[in-house]
Chains A and B, each alone.
Chain A
Amino acid sequence: MPIADTAGRPRLEARALECIRADELVFRGVSLTVAPREVVQLVGANGSGKTSLLRILCGLTPPADGVVSWDGADIQALGKSYTAEVCYIGHLNGVAPTLTPAENLRFAARLCTAKPDLDIDAVLERMALTAIAEVPARRLSAGQRQRVALARLLVSDAPLWVLDEPLTALDTTGKALVEDLLATHAAGGGLAVVSTHQPLVLPPDVALKSMSIRD
């Protein structure tokens, strides 16, 4: 992937997005751009539409109005070739409670575009999940389950991360781990859109943009 060529030019662009849920306007006229090596932090009050915006950005929900484009092409037209480039971790984190963390990750690896040199054991180690790798996820704490979900970021080869409240239920080492993951991802030319209420601490070479939906 020619990351060096595109560095600096925005790959993800959203123009004049409008979101309507249950016949009520959530937001209108939201625009944003994300370039490689950039992390966009979405802030905003509860109910301001952060989750709705993230679902539009990753292609789950079509916007009521406006366009999201990836490398200049409309994501609705790109379809699967766009979603293959996205790793989305939502409010419901996609961890099956009857399966163990290792099984969840092995399944995620076969479902998404996995990293070519993927080593599940190393991923579990990095996320501090080795000790509980074979315990059914329903017996884990909320924070541990969130770590399993976030481990998908290390499994997937997608350049765009869309994370909805990734710090929920995490302890301080967990938060530092997410910041480290974001920094490494951005340093490798990745893009990320993250909604969180907590301030993110990232190294100075990562462009951290903060964005509020209602401003």
Chain B
Amino acid sequence: MSGATRAVLSRELTRMLRRRSQIVHPLMFFLIVVSLFPIAIGPDPVTLARIGPAMVWVAVLLSSTLTMDGIFRDDFDDGSLEQLVLSPAPLPMLVLAKAVAHWLLSAAPLIAMSAPLALMVGLDTRTLVALSLTLLLGTPVLSLVGAVGSALTVGLRSGALLLALIILPLYIPLLIFGTSATHNAALGLPIEAELYFLGGLAVLAATLAPLAAAAALRIRLG
């Protein structure tokens, strides 16, 4: 990792930690969305345990979509983005650093919080482990694909909503593999195949998304 990439990562973490509401509000949103399901469906533990992983996954998708348009918005507004594009350092690496920062402060707290929530809706340990593993492999894809969407829509007036429309359909594969793994785990079946697929998607996103996001940023600024 070059000096400029590390600089972008540490700057990003410093900035986000100074504006804690950007971290805390999506977490609260996540908490509220997950609590809405038991209220709507009723307190039947069997139903809740069956749909628990799915509602956690959907809530993770929604709350990380909320934070997605912030990946490049501040830098676009204050002109730092122009400086990033003009930097001699490779732009895809700088974009990757921003996606990593987003994962660390927006997605990782969601994974940590999903465990107590999953216990609350009555998941058994085996399903809980499967849920955490799928989230661990799936959320980097959220941040990376989100960075591409955020780069495409940065500076547009209704960018946040457009961004959600662009990226949510792209998250369907994650949702399929994530929930099918937890479903198998609940039935006592092996879950390796789904985990391999999620791992493969993560590698694919880490390889291609920074290039796509960098190209999108150049177009948006040009």
State the A residues within 8 Å of B (CB): 58-62, 80-81, 83-84, 86, 88, 90-99, 103, 107-108, 110-113, 136
Contacts and interface: CB of A to CB of B under 8 A. Distances in A.
- Top 9 A-B residue pairs of the complex, sorted by shortest distance between their CB atoms: A92-B79, A110-B7, A84-B88, A94-B79, A94-B83, A83-B86, A111-B87, A61-B222, A98-B15
A91 B77 CA distance: 11
A88 B221 CA distance: 14
A88 B87 CA distance: 10
B85 A60 contact: yes
A96 B16 CA distance: 12
23 contacts: A60-B82, A60-B86, A60-B222, A80-B90, A86-B86, A90-B82, A91-B79, A92-B77, A92-B79, A94-B78, A94-B80, A94-B82, A94-B83, A96-B78, A96-B80, A98-B15, A103-B11, A108-B83, A111-B83, A112-B83, A112-B86, A112-B88, A136-B18
Nearest to A137: B78
A88 B78 contact: no
B78 A92 contact: yes
Majority DSSP secondary structure for residues of A touching B: loop
Contacts, number: 75
A62 B8 CA distance: 26
A110 B80 contact: no
Contacts of A95: 78-80
A61 B84 CA distance: 14
A187 B61 CA distance: 57
Interface in B76-133: 77-80, 82-90
A98 B70 CA distance: 14
Contacts of B23: none
Contacts of A61: 221-222
A38 B31 CA distance: 61
Interface residues of B, number: 27
B88 A98 contact: no
A10 B208 CA distance: 40
A96 B74 contact: yes
A99 B15 contact: yes
B20 to A, nearest CB: 11
B28 to A, nearest CB: 21
Contacts of A97: 78
B210 to A, nearest CB: 16
Contacts of B89: 111
B15 A59 contact: no
B206 interface: no
Contacts of B79: 90-95
B169 interface: no
Contact of B82 (A84, A88, A96, A107): A88
B19 interface: yes
Nearest to A97: B78
B3 interface: yes
A83 B87 contact: yes
B62 interface: no
B1 to A, nearest CB: 12
Interface in B1-40: 3-4, 6-8, 11, 14-15, 18-19
Nearest to A59: B86
Given A60-B222, A83-B88, A96-B74, A111 B7 contact: yes
Nearest to A107: B11
Residue from B77, B83, B88, B221 with most neighbouring chain A CB atoms (10 Å): B83
A81 B87 CA distance: 10
A113 B82 contact: no
A96 B11 contact: yes
Contacts of B88: 80-81, 83-84, 112-113
